[in-house]
């Protein structure tokens, strides 16, 4: 996509002057090219007009153009301002926008769909399309049962899945962990026996510029804080029948981290790990084999760092009492028989 503009600068006589510039960019917002003459050190910045905060990225100075590669793609539908030094050292500026292609709006859901322990550390937002990044703190709010906004509930760490569809929303661990400074001074983010609403702004856009369209409210209840490790011995394993492609199904003793579950469990048979297609809801895990199951003894192996919603993993709780008795050795594998 190409936009023909005039870069505006102030002349010596105080009159606004204009220099021709062409701004070229692909629809995916992965780079911006300003076809113009510029100073040897042009000091190019690309800034969203709405925020006024320059974007992070990498600049290249070529003979006839300036190239800016943003750390995160530019978003269609958002207006940007380019500022740089022209060939004579004058400050020049031009605005541009990537047009939004007609498309369906994205959908979003909050996971897991279960009550959260009061000391929960994270939840997930699953979108149907890759989403605009770097804005989540402006797009999310947490409300209590009375509709009052909880202040400072989120950790300022933005973690997306590789496909840009799943966001890990961290609840501030400094407030969720008992006895640390923020927990003492500001109190925990969540309290047991309460109802909360995670509000997702309808202005949040996909990476191609489509807005959610309307605010979404995800209501959830809280239960008592969880300070105990998940226990593999309490998992319910439903074995499939030999010679079939039926799923192996496991129901956990409590909801586990659904992002970790994609790679935290393996099934071994006759000295090798089986290739499986895995799906899970956090509370249940299902695996379909690449080839039909064979009869005999199989072994389920778990990553010891697999966590529950409160950050307790299979080996130790998130909050460790150094004066307490040592935790018993964790069970990290279980046999089951396919008949």
Residue 275 in any domain: the answer is yes
Domain end (from 48, 73, 97): 97
Residue 75 in any domain: the answer is yes
Arithmetic mean of pLDDT over the chain: 87
Measured over the CA atoms of residue 209, residue 212, residue 214 and residue 220, the dihedral's sign is: negative
Residue 102 in any domain: the answer is no
| Residue-level pLDDT at 174 | 83
The SS3 of residue 174 is helix
Residue 18 has pLDDT above 50, yes or no: no
At 19, the pLDDT band (50, 70, 90 cuts) reads low
Q: Average pLDDT of 69-90?
A: 88
Angle (CA) 130 136 139, round 5° = 105
| Residue-level pLDDT at 279 | 84
What are the DSSP E strand ranges found in 161-295?
A: 166-170, 195-200, 216-223, 236-238, 248-251, 265-269, 272-273, 276-280, 284-289
Whether 277 and 236 map to the same domain: the answer is yes
Residue 14 has pLDDT above 70, yes or no: no
| Residue-level pLDDT at 327 | 56
Residue 303 has pLDDT above 70, yes or no: yes
What percentage of the chain carries pLDDT values higher than 90?
57
Whether 153 and 247 map to the same domain: the answer is no
Q: Average pLDDT of 103-114?
A: 90
Type and span of the H or E element at 34: strand 32-35
Whether 267 and 315 map to the same domain: the answer is yes
Q: Average pLDDT of 1-7?
A: 51
Domain span at 199: 108-223
Q: Average pLDDT of 45-71?
A: 91
Task: List, for residues 155-191, the tens digit of each pLDDT value.
Answer: 988 999 999 999 999 999 888 887 666 676 778 999 9
| Residue-level pLDDT at 131 | 93
| Residue 18 or 131, more confident | 131
Residue 11 in any domain: the answer is yes
Domain end (from 64, 97, 130): 97
| Residue-level pLDDT at 9 | 43
> Using CA atoms, how far apart are residues 288 and 275, in angstroms rounded to an integer?
9
Whether 331 and 237 map to the same domain: the answer is yes
Task: Determine which of 12-16, 40-44, 70-74, 290-294 has the lowest per-residue pLDDT on average.
Answer: 12-16
Whether 66 and 127 map to the same domain: the answer is no
Whether 212 and 246 map to the same domain: the answer is no
Number of domains in the chain: 3
Residue 284, burial from CB neighbour count under 10 angstroms (0-12, 13-18, 19+): middle
Q: Average pLDDT of 75-89?
A: 88
Whether 112 and 183 map to the same domain: the answer is yes
Residue 242 in any domain: the answer is yes
CATH of the domain at 34: 2.60.40
Whether 43 and 61 map to the same domain: the answer is yes
Evaluate whether 239 touches 337 at the Cβ level (below 8 Å). yes
Residue 8 has pLDDT above 60, yes or no: no
Residue 268 in any domain: the answer is yes
> Using CA atoms, how far apart are residues 276 and 286, in angstroms rounded to an integer?
9
Domain end (from 184, 201, 223): 223
What percentage of the chain carries pLDDT values higher than 70?
90
> Using CA atoms, how far apart are residues 165 and 132, in angstroms rounded to an integer?
10
On the CB side of 241, CA atoms within 13 Å amount to: 2
Whether 173 and 201 map to the same domain: the answer is yes
Whether 273 and 316 map to the same domain: the answer is yes
Q: Average pLDDT of 322-330?
A: 59
CATH of the domain at 152: 2.60.40.1220
Residue 103 in any domain: the answer is no
Whether 194 and 243 map to the same domain: the answer is no
């Amino acid at each position: 996509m190409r936009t023909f503009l005039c870069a505006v600068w102030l002349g010596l006589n105080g009159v606004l002057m204009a220099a021709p510039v062409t701004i070229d960019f692909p629809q995916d917002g992965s780079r911006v090219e300003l076809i113009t003459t510029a100073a040897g050190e042009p000091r190019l910045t690309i800034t969203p007009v709405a925020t006024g905060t320059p974007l992070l990225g990498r600049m290249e100075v070529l003979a006839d153009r300036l190239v800016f590669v943003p750390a995160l793609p530019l978003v269609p539908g958002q207006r940007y301002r380019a500022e740089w030094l022209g060939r004579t050292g004058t400050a020049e500026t031009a605005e541009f926008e990537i047009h939004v292609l007609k498309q369906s709006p994205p959908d979003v859901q909050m996971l897991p769909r279960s009550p959260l322990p009061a000391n929960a550390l994270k939840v997930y937002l699953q979108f149907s399309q890759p989403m605009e990044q770097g804005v989540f703190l402006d797009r999310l709010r947490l409300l209590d049962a009375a509709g009052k906004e909880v202040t400072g509930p989120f950790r300022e760490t933005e973690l997306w899945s590789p496909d840009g569809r799943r966001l890990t929303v961290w609840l501030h661990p400094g407030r969720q962990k008992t006895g640390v400074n923020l927990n003492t001074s500001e109190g925990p983010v969540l309290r047991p026996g309460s109802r909360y609403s995670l509000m997702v702004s309808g202005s949040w856009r996909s990476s191609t510029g489509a807005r959610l369209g309307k605010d979404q409210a995800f209501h959830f209840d809280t239960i008592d804080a969880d300070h105990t490790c998940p226990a593999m011995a309490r998992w319910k394993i439903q074995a499939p029948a030999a010679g079939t492609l039926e799923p192996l199904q496991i129901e956990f003793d409590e909801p586990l981290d659904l992002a970790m579950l994609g790679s935290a469990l393996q099934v071994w048979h006759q000295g090798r790990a089986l290739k499986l297609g895995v799906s899970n809801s956090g509370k249940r895990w299902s695996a379909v084999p690449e080839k039909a199951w064979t009869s005999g003894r199989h072994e389920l192996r778990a990553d010891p760092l697999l966590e529950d919603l409160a950050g307790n993993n299979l080996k130790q709780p998130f909050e460790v009492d150094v004066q307490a008795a040592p935790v018993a050795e964790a069970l990290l594998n279980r046999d089951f028989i396919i008949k």
